[in-house]
A and B are shown apart, each in its own frame.
Chain A
Amino acid sequence: MLKHYLEPQDRHSAQQMGLKELEWELVLEKLGRTPNLTELGMFAVMWSEHCSYKHSKLALRQFPTTGPRVLVGPGENAGVIDIGDGQAVVFKIESHNHPSAIEPYQGAATGVGGIVRDVFAMGARPIALLNSLRFGELDSAHQRHLFSGVVSGISGYGNCLGIPTVGGEVYFNQSYTGNCLVNAMCVGTISQDKLARGKAAGLGNRVLLIGALTGRDGIHGATFASEELSESSSTKRPMVQVGDPFMEKLLIEACLELVDRRVIVGMQDLGAAGLTSASSEMAARAGTGVEIDVARVPRREQNMSPYEVMLSESQERMLLVVEPERVREVLEICTRWGLAATDIGLVTDTGAVRVFDGDEIVAEVPAQALASAAPVYNPTLQVPWWQSEAQHLDLDALPLPQDLNQVLLVLLSSPTIASKEWVYRQYDHQVRGDTVVLPGSDAAVLRIKGTSKGLAISVDCNSRYVYLDPFRGGAIAVAEAARNVAVSGAEPLAVTNCLNFGNPEKPEIFYQFHQAIAGMAEACRALETPVTGGNVSLYNETNGKAIYPTPTVGMVGLLRDVNKRVTLSFKQIGDVILQLGTTMEELGGSEYLKVIHQRECGMPPGLDLKRERALQQLLVAAAQAQLLSSAHDCSEGGLAVALCESAFPLGFGADVTLENVNQIRLDALLFGESQSRVVATTAPSSFAALQDLCEQHNVPCREIGRVSRDTVVVRVGSTTVIDLPTQDLARAWKGAIPCLMSQ
């Protein structure tokens, strides 16, 4: 008898591995018999939320995923877009939240490793990393531990790879206290004719495993990522994987050399669910089968069972499919890079993933069943009972602070708004020599050597908006990410996203999920920025309490001429300061409301996608025409904070007078977060031309002041409401995080 008929499992063990009753039945149906331990384990990981998207698939279909520039959309290792001249950009964002909550350094480090592998698995040279991080408030020692651990993990891993970490965002909010978020984005470039695919094509082709040895790392990590954290999670520490960035660096170089010399047929990284997912997905994409002999897999630990080898999530490994006559070449290249490469099997036409342990078959499962036959759920959704209560904000009952200077100082030192230099100075953001706009800007800008082109990249999500109104908040996340790219002068092209939510089996959470996607999808359509892929991280809850719904948006934009990029910094005393867009009386969900009034409520600011689109097109046109000295998105902290952030880099001041034509509250005027607004400057000689351009694009443009020497003064009508030296403002902004972290 073949071994895979032995040890038949039952519904009880299925349940223990996280499969539901119905899923167990489906396993029996797909297999036509009772699975053994290895087979059941393979189903359990592949049908986990992390790998199968079983709760999210239907909702995700709302996203637009096609467009003239999309070369590869969702479903591959990473998305690919056309940037002209035969070149393409490959990019993706992914979460590593649960591992980071348990061991921040290694969790974040291996998160970076995973996303980088996704990009070079497509054959692309990784050229930039970004990240989006969320923690609880920094007054807690544990949150500081998580924050500093995650930052050093990203630093330790990314720096070693020689991929610059060029940008990102960090938010601090109570809702992330038990569940920090670590989302890492990687961007690569490739010549289109070299795109590699994760396909196990070609009958008889060999399957090679290269890179690190296989140990008992993270067995069932994918299932772990699909569970809520509980008190006992930190005792699950053995599941934490340790990253080896040196090995990854060697893998990058070896794999790119393999791609360059066109010696491989298919390539895929081993991430969640390890060999099981790589082999079944590669076979499923090609419509083939795969045979693997686990006895040949080089191990780090002794006495590993086939189950453990197939499910191991050991980092820094890649699976290659190679024509038999080119195996020797692959081995030579790997050896030169000091990498182990082992022939562990071959491509078949059986449609099955057949696992041998030496001569014995220990598992045999249809690849399609693993990769794409997981049940698809359509969870019920329900407006949360607290939603309308949270949206309520009575502005009349909100006192107007007397000292607005003080309010501005407090806002600037709020960790969410404060300078993130403490973070990014730990990242090598210049290696490779192409970083043109450094971290601390609206978007990072990289040049593409040998061309005049540049890429602008941003990651964004104001999750409080999403919490208060998932649809609008989702739309704003996309709009703001695109705006950040557009203020740099780049045309926003496409989106990757990382959807971090609570437990989707709770109707209120699924409501958030579904509505946020609907809002994002609408914005993506309006801004013509299709979604090319991403990642879903659900079950971000601790002891039943969910995080703020956080659909992080990674946006890539193209600058035709990188010399025409625009930065946020004021450039010249006497330049005209303009406000593009309109300020309304909107304080709901603002950082001001949270920091000054300790309230997180109200409706998030309104978003008119037509106006947003017009503004962004104007920004790109104005940059092309070189009419802008600077441009900066108004976001958290509103107009006042945006003015300061533009003044800080070169130590200028701003002399501003606001008309307040609509007679709105002073705090809303200064600190409100109305969307589709930008603080821009222009040389007096370009002002008229810029005004004309604004008129053509139908974008409201108002002169509000001049760049001055060293003081930020804001008058409303004839009353001075803010008057502080730039130096004092900058000190509050720069010192806040270092001060909190030195406790």
Chain B
Amino acid sequence: MRFGVVVFPGSNCDIDCYHAAKAILGQPTDYVWHETSDLSSYDCIVLPGGFSYGDYLRPGAIARFAPAMQAVAEAAGRGQLVLGICNGFQILLEAGLLPGAMRRNDHLQFRCETRHLRLENNTTPFTHLGERGQILRLPIAHADGNYYIDELGLAELKRNNQIVLRYCDAEGQPTASANPNGALENIAGIVNRRGNVFGLMPHPERALEKITGGTDGQLVWTSILKWWEGNHA
């Protein structure tokens, strides 16, 4: 399975995602420059976290116009997997590949800490190894993770089972105090209707090894690999 990690000016979790795919999953992985306009050779395209273009204007607002994003849209249309983490999620929203928008955290501060998340949908290529209702511990690190979507959009997300992760407490309840940023209905990650584009604010690439604080992020990465292997057996 081949991974491509897109590098925008200002990306900074690119090396972590590269490490995840290459060293932890042991799959061939490339850094892909944002000016690349053909991503057809990658089975999974990762839009990493960071501050693309300084997050000036709005996070993701400028990155969505990079040639690579046109290629990402085409890849998504062909059914290739697209994983957007943190800033990558914000870019997917700005690009319209996922519905909704990201606002500043309600407390206005950057927040870096490990949070509980409840797996709401285990039928996606990114989460199929998990169980519905499973509680994960994943690090978050963002200032703009306050997910917003209008009522109609929310209803549609629910109808199509597009909500994948919610912030929750240790018991799995999506309470207000378990919400680190004010996100609507504690939403932390969603997929598109087709299920091949996944955006999430937490960093699964930061939770792969015990030495750096946990292994719950393996669920996402291993699911991707197994899903692909299942389809290419």
Q: Which of B1-45 contact A (CB under 8 A)?
A: 9-13, 15-16, 19
**A532-584 interface with B by 8 A CB criterion:** 562-563
Contacts of B51 in A (CB 8 A): 159-160, 162, 245-246, 249
Q: Given A246-B51, A246-B53, decide whether A430 and B10 contact each other with a Cβ distance below 8 A.
A: no
Contacting residues, chain B, for A247 (C-beta < 8 A)? 54
A162 in contact with B13 (CB, 8 Å):
yes
Chain B contact patch, size range: 20 to 34
Chain A residue nearest to B211 (CB atoms) is A436
Contact (Cβ within 8 A) B12 A431? yes
Q: Which residues of B contact A155 (CB under 8 A)?
A: 109-110
Query: Is B112 engaged at the interface, CB distance under 8 Å to the other chain?
Result: yes
Closest to A158 in B: B110
| Shortest Cβ distance from A445 into B: residue | B211
Q: CB distance A431 to B111 under 8 Å?
A: no
B139 at the interface (CB under 8 A from A): yes
Q: Is A428 part of the binding interface, using a Cβ–Cβ cutoff of 8 Å? A: yes
Measured between beta carbons, the chain A residues less than 8 angstroms from B11 are 162
As a 0/1 sequence over residues 235 to 270 of chain A, the CB contacts with chain B under 8 angstroms (1 = contact) are 000000000111101100000000000000000000
A33 part of interface (Cβ distance < 8 Å): no
> Which residues of A have CB within 8 Å of B19?
433, 449
| B55 contacts partner chain A, Cβ-Cβ < 8 Å | yes
Among A583-632, those with CB < 8 Å from B are none
- Residues A338 and B9 in contact, CB atoms below 8 Å apart: yes
A427 within 8 A of B: yes
Are B16's CB and A432's CB within 8 A? Answer: yes
Within 8 A of A (CB), among B106-160: 109-113, 139, 141, 143
> What 4 additional pairs, Cβ within 8 angstroms, besides A159-B51, A246-B55, A447-B212?
A245-B54, A246-B9, A429-B112, A433-B206
Write the nearest CB–CB distance from A87 to chain B, whole angstroms.
Answer: 18
Cβ contacts A to B, 15 pairs, < 8 Å: A155-B109, A159-B141, A160-B54, A161-B12, A162-B13, A162-B50, A162-B51, A250-B9, A428-B110, A428-B141, A429-B112, A430-B112, A430-B141, A438-B213, A563-B211
Query: Quick check: A249 and B10 within 8 Å, CB to CB?
Result: yes
Evaluate contact between B212 and A435: CB separation under 8 angstroms: yes
| Number of chain A residues whose Cβ lies closer than 8 Å to a Cβ of chain B | 33
* A residues lining the B interface (CB < 8 Å): 152, 155-156, 159-162, 244-247, 249-250, 337-338, 424-436, 438, 447, 449, 562-563
User: A160 and B141 in contact (CB under 8 A), knowing A244-B54, A425-B111, A433-B19?
Assistant: no
Say whether A426 contacts B111, CB under 8 Å: yes
Cα distance, A247 to B56, chains bound together (Å): 12
**Docked pose: A160 CA to B142 CA in angstroms:** 10
Residues on B with beta carbons closer than 8 Å to the beta carbon of A246: 9-10, 51, 53-56
B112 adjacent to A425 (CB under 8 Å)? yes
**Closest partner residue, chain B, to A454 (CB atom):** B211
Q: Whole-angstrom distance from the CB of A189 to the nearest CB of chain B?
A: 13
CB-CB nearest in chain B for A427: B112
* A162 to B17 CA separation, bound complex (whole angstroms): 13
